[in-house]
Amino acid sequence: MGANKRPDSMARIVTKAQADAFIAAQIKEVRAQVGDKKVLLALSGGVDSSVVAALLIKAIGKQLYCVHVNHGLMRKNESENVVALFEGELDANLIYVDATDRFLNLLAGVADPESKRKIIGKEFIEVFADEARKLAGVSFLAQGTIYPDILESIEQAAGKKAVKSHHNVGGLPEDLQFDLVEPIKLLYKDEVRVVGEALGLPHAMVYRQPFPGPGLGVRCLGAITRDRLNALREADAILREEFDKSGLAEKVWQFFIAVPDVKSVGVKDGGRYEGWPAIIRAVNTKDAMTATIEEIPYALLHKITERITHEVEGINRVLYDLTPKPIGTIEWE
Ligand code: XMP
């Protein structure tokens, strides 16, 4: 494993002083590695890619080119927040690509979850590669690889079977081969967060709950349609707002809405109102391999139900999924 093995002597990063020392060392190392060359980074807005972006902005400033691909499956305001922070506040070279139509057109009519994942992963590479080709003279690709990713790929190489194909980003095409810059590859997630805070990233971004690469694509169950995807995005935003207000957001590892491709009969303004159900999922886990259900107080469930059914076009019921993992996985797809 060589440089991919965390040395036994490496202390766990817990304090700001340790994080500052790590940042200073990485700045030196990255500068020595890339010289005056250009570096490209796919910036999703997740914790890992955001920390790498902030670190590289400190190390090499405008030599870094961040590409944010909006695949149309982001949560409400997510892409807007990435642009506001990295372009607006951190003055990064940010290339924002709204690829919503490309993704949704390819996904139209595709109901199988693994096919959806494959399409999203493959298209992501293509959109990113298109942008990379437009930028002349890029020598390096930065990645937010962290230590568990390295450990997991060792396990997979050893033949362990995965339940879902979680790995969204495969390799780039042959004509685009770069040297890798992976400044946080020996860090565990909790250390990445400490480093993120030391870099001055907002708390909400550093402690953001995990969000799958295929995004809302695996929560808009079955074949995705724009109207159901919009309903899901709005319902999810209400859930997050209410979890934030009640303090539950700090206590629950992952929470979201899933919307199945099923309609039920309801009644609104005295007439028939067919709509989809919004399913609430809120789980706690240490490593995502098993998960337990977080108890949401009834009063809060009522409030969320009231808001979603009144404010979101197309939703006429709210359900609460009480299934642990196993037997249910965390996502529905
Ligand atoms: P499951 O549904 O397998 O999810 O219990 C475990 C964790 O993995 C996330 N997840 C994904 N992450 N690409 C990702 O990057 C995916 O295709 C994917 N599918 C599930 C899920 O959100 C949970 O945190």
What is the radius of gyration, based on Cα positions, of the chain?
Answer: 21
Residue with the two structure tokens 């539950």: 248
Nearest residue by C-alpha to atom 10 in ligand 1 = 212
How far is Cα 32 from Cα 306, in angstroms, rounded to an integer?
57
Residues 59 and 27 sit within 8 Å (Cβ to Cβ): yes
Residue 280, token pair as written in the block: 């609430």
Q: Is the CB of 215 under 6 A from ligand 1?
A: no
Q: 54 alpha carbon to ligand 1 midpoint, in Å?
A: 25
Q: Which atom of ligand 1 is nearest to the CA of 329?
A: 5
Distance 274 CA to ligand 1 centre (A): 30
Q: State in Å: Cα 212 to ligand 1 middle.
A: 5
- Count CB-CB contacts under 10 A for residue 161: 5
CA of 98 to the centre of ligand 1 (A): 24
| Alpha-carbon span 119 to 78, nearest angstrom | 21
Distances (CA, A) of 330 to 48, 115, 162: 21, 19, 14
Q: Is 233 in the pocket of ligand 1 (CB under 6 A)?
A: no
The answer to whether the CB of 158 is under 6 A from ligand 1 is: no
pTM for the whole thing?
0.94
Ligand 1 mutation target, pool 44, 48, 164, 208, most atoms within 8 A of CB? 164
How confident is the model at residue 163, as a pLDDT?
A: 76
pLDDT given for residue 166 in this prediction: 63
Model pLDDT, residue 219: 98
Instruction: Give me the average pLDDT of each 10-residue run along the chain (333 residues).
Output: 84 98 98 98 97 98 98 98 97 98 98 97 96 94 94 79 64 89 97 98 94 97 98 98 96 97 97 98 95 95 98 98 98 98
Q: Ligand 1 centre from 225 Cα, in Å?
A: 21
